[in-house]
């Protein structure tokens, strides 16, 4: 039986395969295994014939590497087949069986690799990926490199795939656009399949690539589409991966934990427990990202039971006390999501020392944007009557006032909403007014965002119940005009109930009634009454008591 030389081409390989196919029926040992090998050799022979139809196969490096591997496997197959020609196995049954199994596994891999290479279209490109080819643009060069790497991740041995993923990591670190190009070339499903069978080192690198993809907004949906398959792999990394791998898995899970289905799956599979363990004992980076995943998960009612079972509030409050800035922000955000609508959990936060931790976090934040989660948590906690008193006694009202005037829209809105939550008693409303909340809220009425206008009008409708606050409001030259402008039906998506309520508090004063009418409220109110806006009819009737009503309603 001829053995191919290193200089033999495809024709030699085909001849060797043909010779093996002819000799296998005569082998006496391991007949069933050789029967399977014969089927794989037949498939491989067909694929080598297909290779010859592509001009690119003679210059494509991936094709040439595959042929070298096939040549080595055929050499071994010939040698092993020679030892199986008789019933006696000179080198022992177990050793020979192991060699036969090795040949069969390698042939199976070659058949799959050849199929991937043929379907990839790289051979049609006639060597387009080899060095020296003229490429018209950087984008096209990246596309071709990405396409090449995706194929290399699917064929060849461990070393080849390891080299490919190293190159892929380097390519993705350069630019977000490179990430999008690689995703378009189908890298994500290949990475997920790679996680099924790769070594620990390779798995760590694969998770690194997946985490990088998850950081590009336009590519997240492709990861989410992989569903439970990818999710389960990442959760296993959380349980038993290295510290580095856990951190990268947490980064990826931040993107995957935004849907209810995935959140439920993470909770059911013990993910919350694993994440809380990382929050307690992981590296500073992994703690921050783990808290970010928990923050997403806590926004779904379906996961709250898992948080309670794992005593999550204690862990999260500990992180607010001692974590990095990002870890603290995510932990506070998680507490806000977790306690929303649940008074028992709000009280638990107080019992575990959460109010003191929130105050320390508030006072230490240097970036105002990061304070938003703290303001939101304050707003939520203040909805519980028992907790509200604690919050006020801990001095949060003076802390809230300057936030109403900060330069970050989301923080201002959250602060105005917190004012609404805190102003449920006459004592707290008075304290909020005396602390200086009313002026900034009046300024917010003129904000560009409808959400800001509504939050401010709602807060004012709460505060103006207090007589002393109405006196403060009346000192503003623009307060009444700004409120009246919000009655305009042309301002869409703005709940007029709060504006009407605030004005209702003001028109108890004859002077304010005149100001409200002079500002043009009557025309707007006529339309609001027709729209059946709550309180509009009553406000209209109160304004009708003004002697100048008729002047402003005449055409």
Chain segment 32-75, per-residue pLDDT in tens = 899 899 988 988 888 887 777 666 666 677 787 888 888 889 99
**Local confidence band at 212 (pLDDT 50, 70, 90 cut-offs):** very high
Predicted pLDDT of residue 535: 85
Count the alpha carbons within 13 Å of 322 in the hemisphere toward its beta carbon: 9
**Residue 190 sits in the same domain as residue 306:** yes
Predicted pLDDT of residue 135: 47
Predicted pLDDT of residue 418: 95
Residue 522 counted as domain residue: no
**Residue 363 sits in the same domain as residue 336:** yes
**Residue 290 sits in the same domain as residue 379:** no
**Residue 318 sits in the same domain as residue 228:** no
**Residue 251 sits in the same domain as residue 204:** yes
Residue 113 counted as domain residue: yes
Specify the long-range contacts of residues 437-440, CB closer than 8 Å, at least 24 apart.
437/397, 437/400, 437/401, 437/404, 437/463, 438/463, 438/469, 438/472, 438/473, 438/476, 439/476, 440/401, 440/404, 440/405
Q: Exposure string (b/e) for 341-364, b if CB count within 10 Å is 16 or more?
A: eeeebbbbbbebebbebbbebbee
Predicted pLDDT of residue 129: 41
Predicted pLDDT of residue 554: 45
**Local confidence band at 510 (pLDDT 50, 70, 90 cut-offs):** confident
Distance, CA of 63 to CA of 227 (rounded, Å): 33
**Residue 232 sits in the same domain as residue 260:** yes
- Which tokens in the block code for residue 451? 């959400």
Predicted pLDDT of residue 89: 81
Distance, CA of 75 to CA of 108 (rounded, Å): 16
Predicted pLDDT of residue 58: 67
Q: What is the pLDDT of residues 388-414, one digit of tens each?
A: 999 999 999 999 999 999 999 999 999
- Asked if 459 and 419 count as a contact pair (C-beta separation under 8 A), the reply is yes
Distance, CA of 450 to CA of 441 (rounded, Å): 14
Q: Is the pLDDT of residue 2 over 80?
A: no
User: 217: domain range?
Assistant: 186-310
Predicted pLDDT of residue 366: 86
Average of per-residue pLDDT across 360-387: 94
Predicted pLDDT of residue 546: 60
Place of tokens 């080595």: 72
CA of residue 301 relative to chain centroid, distance:
18
Distance, CA of 548 to CA of 555 (rounded, Å): 14
Average of per-residue pLDDT across 315-330: 94
> What is the radius of gyration, based on Cα positions, of the chain?
35
Residue 131 counted as domain residue: no
pTM above threshold 0.85: no
Average of per-residue pLDDT across 432-448: 95
Tell me which of 333, 361, 394 is where a domain ends. Answer: 394
Question: Which is higher by pLDDT, 4 or 419?
Answer: 419
Q: Is the pLDDT of residue 10 over 50?
A: no
Predicted pLDDT of residue 127: 41
Per mean pLDDT, which range of 319-323, 375-379, 550-554 is the poorest? 550-554
Q: Is the pLDDT of residue 11 over 70?
A: no
Q: Is the pLDDT of residue 198 over 50?
A: yes
- Asked if 251 and 243 count as a contact pair (C-beta separation under 8 A), the reply is no
Which 8-state DSSP code applies to residue 60? -
Distance, CA of 448 to CA of 488 (rounded, Å): 15
Place of tokens 């990405």: 146
Distance, CA of 96 to CA of 83 (rounded, Å): 8
Q: Exposure string (b/e) for 162-172, b if CB count within 10 Å is 16 or more?
A: bebbebbeebb
**Residue 287 sits in the same domain as residue 341:** no
Question: What SS3 state is found at 406?
Answer: coil
Which 8-state DSSP code applies to residue 175? -
As to burial, measured by CB atoms within 10 angstroms (0-12 exposed, 13-18 middle, 19+ buried), residue 277 is middle
Name every residue whose Cβ is closer than 8 Å to that of residue 240 and which is 6 or more positions away in sequence: none
**Residue 322 sits in the same domain as residue 290:** no
Residue 66 counted as domain residue: yes
Predicted pLDDT of residue 310: 94
**Residue 377 sits in the same domain as residue 288:** no
Residue 518 counted as domain residue: no
Q: Is the pLDDT of residue 307 over 50?
A: yes
**Residue 191 sits in the same domain as residue 306:** yes
Residue 404 counted as domain residue: no
Predicted pLDDT of residue 56: 62
Count of domains observed in the chain: 3
Q: What is the pLDDT of residues 514-540, one digit of tens each?
A: 888 888 888 888 888 888 888 888 888
Distance, CA of 119 to CA of 554 (rounded, Å): 80
- Asked if 473 and 442 count as a contact pair (C-beta separation under 8 A), the reply is yes
**Residue 304 sits in the same domain as residue 317:** no
Tell me which of 375, 394, 413 is where a domain ends. Answer: 394
**Local confidence band at 420 (pLDDT 50, 70, 90 cut-offs):** very high
**Residue 87 sits in the same domain as residue 20:** yes
Predicted pLDDT of residue 378: 96
What sign results for the dihedral spanned by CA atoms 541, 542, 544, 545?
Answer: positive
Tell me which of 394, 410, 442 is where a domain ends. Answer: 394
**Local confidence band at 199 (pLDDT 50, 70, 90 cut-offs):** confident
Q: Is the pLDDT of residue 512 over 50?
A: yes
Residue 529 counted as domain residue: no
Residue 84: CB atoms within 10 Å: 22
Distance, CA of 396 to CA of 392 (rounded, Å): 6
Q: Is the pLDDT of residue 7 over 50?
A: no
What sign results for the dihedral spanned by CA atoms 60, 64, 65, 66?
Answer: positive
Name every residue whose Cβ is closer than 8 Å to that of residue 343 and which is 6 or more positions away in sequence: 384, 386, 387
Name every residue whose Cβ is closer than 8 Å to that of residue 503 and which is 6 or more positions away in sequence: 480, 483, 484, 487, 516, 521, 539
Q: What is the pLDDT of residues 245-280, one digit of tens each?
A: 999 999 999 999 999 999 999 999 999 999 999 999
The domain that holds 200 is classified in CATH as 1.25.10.10
How many DSSP H helices and E strands does the chain contain? 34, 0
What is the average pLDDT score of the chain?
Answer: 88
What sign results for the dihedral spanned by CA atoms 194, 197, 200, 201?
Answer: negative
Predicted pLDDT of residue 133: 42
Residue 293 counted as domain residue: yes
Highest mean pLDDT among 135-144, 154-163, 239-248: 239-248
Predicted pLDDT of residue 243: 93
> Percent of the chain at pLDDT above 70?
92
Distance, CA of 275 to CA of 366 (rounded, Å): 27
């Amino acid at each position: 039986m001829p053995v191919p030389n290193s200089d033999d081409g495809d024709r030699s390989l085909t001849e060797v395969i043909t010779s093996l196919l002819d000799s296998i029926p005569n082998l006496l040992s391991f007949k069933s295994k050789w029967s399977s090998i014969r089927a794989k050799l037949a498939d491989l022979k067909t694929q080598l014939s297909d290779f010859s139809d592509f001009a690119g196969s003679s210059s494509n490096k991936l094709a040439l590497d595959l042929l070298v591997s096939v040549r080595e496997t055929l050499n071994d197959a010939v040698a092993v087949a020679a030892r199986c020609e008789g019933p006696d196995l000179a080198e022992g049954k177990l050793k020979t069986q192991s060699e036969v199994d090795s040949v069969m596994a390698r042939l199976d891999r070659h058949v799959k690799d050849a199929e991937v290479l043929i379907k990839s279209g790289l051979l049609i490109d006639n060597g387009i990926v080899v060095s020296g080819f003229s490429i018209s643009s950087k984008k096209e060069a990246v596309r071709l490199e990405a396409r090449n790497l995706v194929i290399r991740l699917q064929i060849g041995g461990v070393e080849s795939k390891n080299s490919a993923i190293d190159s892929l990591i380097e390519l993705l670190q350069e630019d977000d656009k490179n990430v999008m190009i690689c995703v378009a070339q189908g890298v994500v499903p290949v990475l997920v399949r790679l996680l099924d069978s790769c070594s620990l080192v390779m798995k760590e690198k694969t998770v690194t690539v997946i985490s990088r993809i998850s950081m590009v907004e336009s590519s997240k949906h492709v990861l989410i589409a992989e569903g439970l398959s990818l999710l389960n792999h990442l959760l296993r990394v959380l349980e038993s991966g290295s510290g580095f791998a856990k951190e990268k898995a947490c980064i990826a899970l931040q993107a995957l934990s935004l849907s209810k289905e995935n959140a439920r799956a993470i909770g059911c599979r013990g993910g919350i427990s694993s994440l809380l363990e990382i929050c307690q004992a992981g590296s500073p980076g992994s703690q921050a990202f783990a808290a970010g995943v928990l923050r997403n998960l806590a926004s779904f009612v379906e996961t709250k039971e898992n948080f309670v079972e794992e005593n999550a509030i204690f862990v999260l409050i500990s992180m607010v006390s001692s974590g990095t800035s990002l870890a603290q922000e995510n932990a506070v955000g998680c507490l806000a999501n977790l306690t929303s609508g649940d008074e028992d959990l709000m009280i638990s936060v107080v019992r575990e020392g959460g109010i003191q931790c929130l105050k320390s976090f508030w006072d230490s934040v240097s970036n105002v944007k990061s304070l938003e989660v703290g303001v939101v948590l304050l707003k939520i906690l203040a909805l519980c009557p028992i907790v509200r008193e604690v919050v006020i006694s801990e001095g949060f009202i003076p802390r809230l006032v300057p936030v109403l005037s900060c330069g970050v829209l989301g923080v201002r809105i959250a602060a105005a909403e917190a004012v609404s939550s805190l102003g449920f008693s006459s004592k707290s409303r008075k304290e909020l007014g005396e602390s200086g909340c009313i002026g900034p809220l009046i300024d917010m009425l003129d904000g560009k965002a409808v959400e800001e206008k509504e939050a401010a009008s709602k807060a004012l409708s709460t505060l103006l119940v207090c007589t002393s606050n109405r006196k403060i409001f009346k000192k503003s030259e623009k307060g009444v005009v700004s409120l009246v402008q919000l009655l305009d039906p042309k301002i869409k998506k703005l709940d007029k109930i709060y504006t009407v309520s605030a004005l209702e508090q003001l028109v108890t004063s004859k002077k304010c009634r005149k100001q409200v009418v002079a500002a043009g409220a009557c025309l707007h109110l006529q339309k609001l009454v027709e729209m059946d806006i709550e309180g509009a009819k009553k406000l209209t009737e109160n304004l009708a008591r003004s002697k100048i009503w008729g002047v402003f309603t005449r055409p």
